Amino acid sequence: MRCIVSAIDPYLPRMTDYDYIIVGAGSAGCVLAKRLSADARNRVLLLEAGGSDRSPLIQVPLGYGMTFTDPKYNWMYSTEPDPALAHRASYWPRGKVLGGSSSLNAMVYMRGQEGDFDDWRDAGNPGWGWSDVLPYFKKSEDHVWGASEHHGAGGELRVSDFADQVHPICSRFLEAGERLGYGLTDDFNGARKEGFGLWQMTIRDGLRASTSNAFLRPVMHRHNLTVTTGAMVNRVLLEGRKAVGVACTVDGRSVHFKARKEVILSGGAINSPQLLQLSGLGDGALLQSKGVATVQHLPQVGQGLQDHLAVSYFFKSRVPTLNNTLRPWSGKLLAGIRYLLTRKGPLGMSVNQAGAFVRSRPELARPNLHLYFNPLSYTANTAAVTGKRFQLQQPDPFAAFLISFNTCRPSSRGSVTIRSGNPLEKPRIETNFLSTEHDRADIVEGARLLRTIAATAPLADIVESEHLPGVQVQSEEAILADFAKRAGSVYHASCTCAMGPDASNSVVDARLRVHGMQNLRVIDASVFPAVTSGNTNAPTIMVAEKGADMVLQDNA
């Protein structure tokens, strides 16, 4: 179904005038649609370039291994070759479907370190410190443990604990971390946010708790909410420096929708800066070179791109891992039957089951490394982008597990820029990874820590051998060369429309309004001043919650 109006009408919206137009039904857009349409006097239009999220590949948690490279649900971006990655391009999946990337991600619920948000505040963004944002995290949360100082209950987003379902070898990873002195935490989103522990996941009763499932679909019956899929927004309509609507293509037809109050861009770290630039908002020299007339010179639009760059170390195991379960067709069948009967088992959760936030040096004020432990291995994920589809659902044909790491707070910055004035042409993504000494310093320490963990009992007791990169990679030079050859994104793109007080080095103000413009905001991960220490989905939902309040307050 290409177009959804109040969840049932399969044709173009009959109306063209709305109070609020939200571009992008992703992690932020679905939250905004629910909050802004709660007042029946507000007419809200939510536009999504992709289609329906009803596929079992999206709803079944482990199905994300098959949507990873499916253009039906995925923008399937590629970056420019990066010298830090041995001149390789990186493949960047982004959700093109209701729920956006929350319909494709690994479902880990991770807010980040408290200091991440205090840094946002201290960068000139009042109201964005940890004490300010915690209520918004709690507002959307329906935590399986109930309400507490750290968690909310009764919200839309289910946060579940899978301690009783994770693979048994996860306990060996946790005990190894404890023996190394890092300590354990039973809640990375609670009082202790560092140490070794198990991830909480956005899954409800065995189904993915995307923002579409959690926020949007329960309110699609509202008469004042229109949701249109298959809608490619080409530019923001402007009268001088005031946003008055959007021009888009729906089912091959050009349509203009008008916004009486605000246009809100929620396309994410790639699409939001792209749309601003296509609309004449960005660096004047860039726009001129692409044939786009400059409306507002905003040099930071598309600049400041940040992401987490990780590498995995693979270890063959003496005991069965999830490879033994999910590699053979018989194992897949049994896992499927178990899921159908109980909504539990490997198909009912992420393969990213345990991990850690640690300080590689004791003098550090807070964790600088984010570790991931998967009781499964898929070395296909180390392949360079070749244009061919590959799927993460096919594990290696031997028992193995992997441990990964990335720097929590990278300082390198990249960019997203349009290649032309054609909205259908994918933008140029330059990652510029490892361009600072700060970022390079953690790599060798992180790699050696992974090996130390694997060599510590009781995890060491089941290690048969190091499969990748192999024991021959020992020197600092060899470790760095291997990192350049194999490292890749963990898909936390952010910061390309960063908030800040000055239009010369930011795109939106602390109320998420585009500098120098009226009735135009950006509300998604692109407004992060700096990437958070962990996964970015939960912080994006928080930004949408807080942003919705700002929109309603400013239009009261």
* Active-site amino acid positions: 492
Cite the beta strand spans of 345-489 per DSSP E.
354-358, 369-374, 400-407, 414-417, 428-430, 463-468, 488-489
287-293 LR contacts (CB < 8 Å, sep 24+): 290/418, 290/419, 290/420, 290/421, 291/420, 291/421, 292/418, 292/421
Contacts of 424 (CB under 8 A, 6+ apart): 232
- Please tell me the distance from the alpha carbon of residue 544 to that of residue 536, in angstroms, as a whole number: 12
SS3 track for 105-122: CCCECCCCCHHHHHHHHH
Q: What type of residue sits at position 553?
A: Q
Q: Which of 155, 130, 128, 131 is CA-nearest to residue 141?
A: 155
Cis peptide before 458 (omega within 30 of 0): yes
Q: Taking the CB of residue 67, how many other CB atoms lie within 10 A of it?
A: 24
Contacts of 501 (CB under 8 A, 6+ apart): 124, 125, 509, 510
Alpha-carbon distance values, 122 to 115, 119, 493 (Å): 10, 5, 22
SS3 track for 16-74: CEEEEEEECCCCCHHHHHHHHCCCCCCCEEEECCCECCCCHHHHCHHHHHHHCCCCCCE
- Please tell me the distance from the alpha carbon of residue 410 to that of residue 440, in angstroms, as a whole number: 9
- Please tell me the distance from the alpha carbon of residue 1 to that of residue 9, in angstroms, as a whole number: 9
8 Å CB contact between 290 and 282? no
Residue with tokens 């946790």: 174
Helix (H, G, I), strand (E, B) or coil at 539: helix
